[in-house]
Amino acid sequence: MSTQADPTLNHGRVADAPVRNIVDRFLPAPLRPYARLARFDRPIGWWLLLWPCWWSVALAGVAAGTGPNVWHLVLLMVGAIVMRGAGCTYNDILDRDIDANVERTRSRPIPSGQVKVEAAMLFMVGLAFVGLAVVLQFNAFTVLLAFGSLAIVAFYPLAKRVTDWPQLVLGFAFSWGAFVGWSATFASVGWAPVALYLGSIAWTVGYDTIYAHQDRRDDAIIGVRSTARLFSGNDKLGVGIPYALALAMFTAAVVLAGGGVLSFIGLAAFALHLARQVVRLSPDDPAACLAAFKSNRWAGWLFFAGLVADGGMRGL
């Protein structure tokens, strides 16, 4: 059997997408540009959007003494995948001129000409309707709560033009699930999900600052602002301080939810993972920054596993 790679397989692949990713390997060629637009070839984004949602469901399971609601976990995963896709499409529509001038992003479907702007808008609306169908499965309070994030999502792509803290704005949007998972269980919001939300914002600032180091040189040329540029020269502090704040808030969330030893074991493992990222941070090595950023998917599992184990033991 020949081991020669198919030369057409990765035609049109976005620069920072994994080689031979699921989109390029399995989707028909006409669908690939839209899947790339929604970042289905780069799943790390929806994992990072999903973690505050799943942590919130698991934290509610700890507080209720029942363990996490599995159906809520499934719904929120579907919602995270499609709404991250819709958000990325919206972002790329607004950023198409900026993306065309940045080495890492000029291969994205819109600036590279794979998808027209009008077609991207229709695709975004379709994804949003799927997300709406998911949200409508929850109680009325949660439905209203979920809509509260839309204004933040709409502003995020503009933030890099007006503030050095676009990562903070991203945190406001990406962390909203910290409320949704809890409210899906209790039809209300308490102090535990508030602490989880604040911690998730700080975590987002930390990991997205790592991510932004990849574009720091191009961003300086074209005038795009970021915390990676703001903290240049103090890079480890720029990541370490948000991570420390995240851990403090997550500790408070577990305490407020009545969490036990297993929750804190998961949180301790999560903390060690974040500390390792800070110690090994190489801000001038784009590949290392991307790897550290992506590793937060596994960090999320550590905290989640502790919460699930804690809530599950109470439900026995």
For residue 4, being part of any structural domain is answered with no
Confidence of residue 223 (pLDDT cuts 50, 70, 90): confident
pLDDT score for 13: 76
DSSP-assigned states of every residue in the chain: ---PPPTTTTTT--TTSPTT-HHHHHS-GGGHHHHHHTTTT-THHHHHHHHHHHHHHHHHHHHHTS---HHHHHHHHHHHHHHHHHHHHHHHHHTHHHHTTSTTTTTSTTTTTSS-HHHHHHHHHHHHHHHHHHHTTS-HHHHHHHHTTHHHHHHHHHHHHH-S-HHHHHHHHHTTHHHHHHHHHHSS--HHHHHHHHHHHHHHHHHHHHHHGGGHHHHHHHT---HHHHTTT-HHHHHHHHHHHHHHHHHHHHHHTT--HHHHHHHHHHHHHHHHHHHT--TT-HHHHHHHHHTHHHHHHHHHHHHHHHHHHHT-
Confidence of residue 222 (pLDDT cuts 50, 70, 90): confident
Please say if the pLDDT value at position 316 is more than 80.
no
Mean pLDDT lowest for which of 4-13, 245-254, 262-271?
Answer: 4-13
For residue 14, being part of any structural domain is answered with no
* Backbone Cα Rg of the chain: 20
Q: Angle at Cα 169 formed by Cα 45 and Cα 247, nearest 5°?
A: 75
Six-digit token string for 124: 């975004």
Query: Once rounded to an integer, what is the mean pLDDT over residues 19-32?
Result: 88
HSE of 20 in the Cβ direction (CA atoms, 13 Å)? 3
Q: Which residues of 43-60 are buried (b: 16+ CB within 10 A; e: fewer)?
A: bbbbbbbbbbbbbbbbbb
* pLDDT 10s digits, 99-156: 888 877 888 899 989 999 999 999 999 999 999 999 999 999 999 999 999 899 888 8
Confidence of residue 11 (pLDDT cuts 50, 70, 90): low
Q: Name which residue leads in pLDDT, 269 or 222.
A: 269
Query: Once rounded to an integer, what is the mean pLDDT over residues 216-239?
Result: 87
Please say if the pLDDT value at position 7 is more than 90.
no
Six-digit token string for 211: 């991510």
Can you give the residue range of the structural domain that contains 57? 39-310
CA distance 170 to 208: 9
For residue 111, being part of any structural domain is answered with yes
For residue 19, being part of any structural domain is answered with no
Please say if the pLDDT value at position 32 is more than 70.
yes
Separation of CA 260 from chain center: 27
User: How many structural domains are present in the chain?
Assistant: 1
Rounded mean pLDDT of the chain?
Answer: 91
pLDDT score for 101: 82
User: Which amino acid type is present at position 261?
Assistant: V
pLDDT score for 198: 98
pLDDT score for 2: 31
For residue 101, being part of any structural domain is answered with yes
pLDDT score for 162: 87
Please say if the pLDDT value at position 295 is more than 80.
yes
pLDDT score for 68: 96
Q: Name which residue leads in pLDDT, 13 or 167.
A: 167
* pLDDT 10s digits, 164-212: 999 999 999 999 999 999 999 999 999 999 999 999 999 999 999 999 9
In this prediction the pTM is 0.91
pLDDT score for 315: 64
For residue 315, being part of any structural domain is answered with no
Give Cβ neighbours of residue 168 (< 8 Å, ≥ 6 apart). Answer: 201, 205, 227
User: Which amino acid type is present at position 53?
Assistant: C
- The label of the residue with tokens 């995948």 reads 81
For residue 183, being part of any structural domain is answered with yes
- pLDDT above 90 covers what percent of the chain? 74
For residue 62, being part of any structural domain is answered with yes
Q: For position 199, which CATH number holds?
A: 1.10.357.140
